[in-house]
Structure 1
């Protein structure tokens, strides 16, 4: 087992020049964490205007394992923000482990999350480090909301996750990921993982104010691999607001536009979990502004918690397998998230 150096707190952000990557670098700096801004294109990294004294700049291509390992050398953790993660997750995770660093990413892609959970668990244990896929808005947030509702329980009759976005102006990276992600999406039905029915089911969902009743369409993301890693349920489905789906399907929808000094867009979101158990139903919701921007505090909080208290034997985990869901969400409120219905 590789011995990691205690107290080595520098974190590498791979894909730092991307839209979400820049938010992650800014959040780490706000928290006083030394950052290595890494990526495939040195010109793009330099053009970001990162402060050279506070942020190191290192370039490495995905197909160059030695360069990736060198880019992550001396780092305690690597946060991968470079999609499509079907192409980047395993190479970056393997290089992070070889450098003795924890690995986290923000994938929305089910196949990518499963790849990390299944293929990197044993190597991470051998390296004595931790791998956490999908620790951002899609995947990780819903996983933590469900964990907050279940507490110590590991089973539910039904779990429905409804995601309300009042708009979705996709980044260039989101467009590329959508084009690359042609894998069949899966849900849980009848207690088993099954393909999402086609055409995708539609329904009405009663969101809290100010959204109220809205049309939603079944569209599962990387929360399915995360939740099923630790929770047994008869039904697990994710629903996305139709207005957001219409935006993302429209090639003419422009990218997000910043409306404040932090670079956030005006987009508002709400993620609600409806958990059916023992004949009752519990609803928990979290809301905030800009799904790309909020990914930064989510994945940075996860990285710093892993550094503060890593699993003693390493391995690959869903966020909810490592963190208390309610405590994690409360740590981000009210600055980043508004919480409703969280159990005491």
Structure 2
């Protein structure tokens, strides 16, 4: 159950959650969010001495050292953990060894990958093992992937089969982290969409595409650019068409070699970056829309993935195996909880 102070309990004892890559940009947000929720974070890093010397975390945080090429170190780091959150990209390299170790430990596994091939490989490789262990594996449980899936799932409601899903993302800027740049260089796979009911290679669209977003964005020039929302949504839904788009402002920023890394704009460490995401779902002549706005895609992933962890630990999830969040959580209730918890987050449906 969940106590009034937010402690997630199991058999009367608070459960700890390991964060692999805790010293990275997103990992630090996740550690802070778990602490706010009364969950004990265990920071798993590649160089414990360096992080301790830099005093990234206070003495109350348990620091453990592990590496993806050292299974024994991962076993020790994840021992007695209720869940493992992987924040260390490129996930094409880290997801498999970290997920394997989490399942060996009997812990749920979650990550924040935006990489399509990583999410797809995790779904395919770990479903059977996770079911046998009675745990859930949730790849792409971040801004890219998980949020879009939850929004689509909530908007679909009683619909089962739909004709078309279009997801648009607008950022007023995108100052990439070092990890984002490394991942971009590592991930050279062909991007996929759903066309005629099947996964298919992305075909470059016209250069003059535009989409409407809520203020302060308005109408934005966009480019077809699918992320991990494609494999996550198709894990449990079967749209005839599924496409996603990113505004050109964000794409120009992330592609420019001189764009700086994110800078904190307040004591929480969040940057001033504004975001908006629209999902439009069509079935025949009927259309449903859901829109969310907020701030800082990296910081946003922390309460999103931590909300998933809370629900895994207090029993508000369904089943086991490698799953999409819309298949295991009440999507509408999940988003409503984020609406109450995340500053600047607003969601509308029509």
Poorly superposed stretches of 4+, deviation over 4 Å: 5-8, 199-202, 310-313
Structure 2 partner of 1:120: 126
CA drift of 1:94 comes to: 0.4
Does the Cα contact within 8 Å between 1:37 and 1:45 map onto a contact in 2? no
Gaps of 5+ in 2: 1-9
**Which deviations, in whole Å up to 9, do the C-alpha atoms of 1:282-334 show, x marking residues without a partner?**
11101101000010000000011111117675211111111111111110114
CA distance in 2, matches of 1:115, 1:299: 20
CA contact (8 A) 1:188 1:236 kept: yes
TM-score scaled to structure 2, two decimals?
0.93
- Mapping of residues 1-344 of structure 1, within 5 Å: 6=11, 7=13, 9-46=15-52, 47-53=54-60, 55-198=61-204, 203-309=209-315, 314-336=320-342, 338-342=345-349
Judged with a 3 Å threshold, the aligned counterparts in structure 2 of structure 1 residues 29 and 340 are, in CA distance, closer, same or farther, namely closer
For each residue in 1:8-64, what CA deviation from the matched residue of structure 2 results, as whole angstroms up to 9, or x when unmatched? 5100000000000000000001111111000212134322431222x1100011101
Q: Aligned pair in 2 of structure 1 residues 60, 199: CA closer, same or farther (>3 Å)?
A: same
1:147–1:312 CA distance, 2 compared to 1 (3 A): closer
How far apart are the structure 2 equivalents of 1:313 and 1:161?
Answer: 27
Q: Decide whether the 8 Å contact of 2:14 with 2:40 is kept in 1.
A: no
Q: Distance in 2 between matches of 1:59 and 1:299?
A: 22
Number of residue pairs aligned between Structure 1 and Structure 2: 338
In 1, Cα distance between equivalents of 2:165 and 2:91: 26
Q: How far apart, in 1, do the equivalents of 2:206 and 2:103 lie?
A: 38
Q: 1:123 to 1:311 in 2, by over 3 A?
A: farther
Tell me, in whole angstroms, the C-alpha distance in 2 between the residues paired with 1:199 and 1:43: 49
RMSD, matched Cα: 1.6
Give the structure 1 partner of residue 4 of structure 2.
Answer: none
Alpha carbons 1:8, 1:76 under 8 Å: kept: no
- When residues 106 and 202 of structure 1 are mapped into structure 2, their CA distance, relative to the original with a 3 A threshold, is farther
